[in-house]
Amino acid sequence: MVTSYLDRNLKWLFPLFAILVLLLTPELLEIAHSSLSIPASLQHIGIALAFLLGGIGATLTDTISAKLVRVLGLLLLTLGVVWSL
């Protein structure tokens, strides 16, 4: 049975789409001249949760893309820890 890329990788791709939405929402609201706003702390919590769920999804997915995302995530985490020292 042939499955599509999204079918195989949706466990870790869906949280990335959520991160994209959370990152772009303040700018889109500003463009629309809306008086609504999202608190920055809520935005940061949502992004952190989406990264966590994406990492778990990448760990549970056995594809080359997921393995590359895991390596990239570990590299970025290591650089972040080293940068904060």
Domain limits, the chain:
9-84
Is 70 exceeded by the pLDDT of residue 1? no
- Residue 71's alpha-carbon distances to 7, 55, 68, in angstroms, are 21, 10, 5
pTM score: 0.75
**Could you write out the three-class secondary structure of the chain?**
CCCCHHHHHHHHHHHHHHHHHHHHHHHHHHHCCCCCCCCHHHHHHHHHHHHHHHHHHHHHCCCHHHHHHHHHHHHHHHHHHHHHC
The string of pLDDT tens digits covering residues 30-63 is 888 877 777 888 888 988 899 889 989 999 999 9
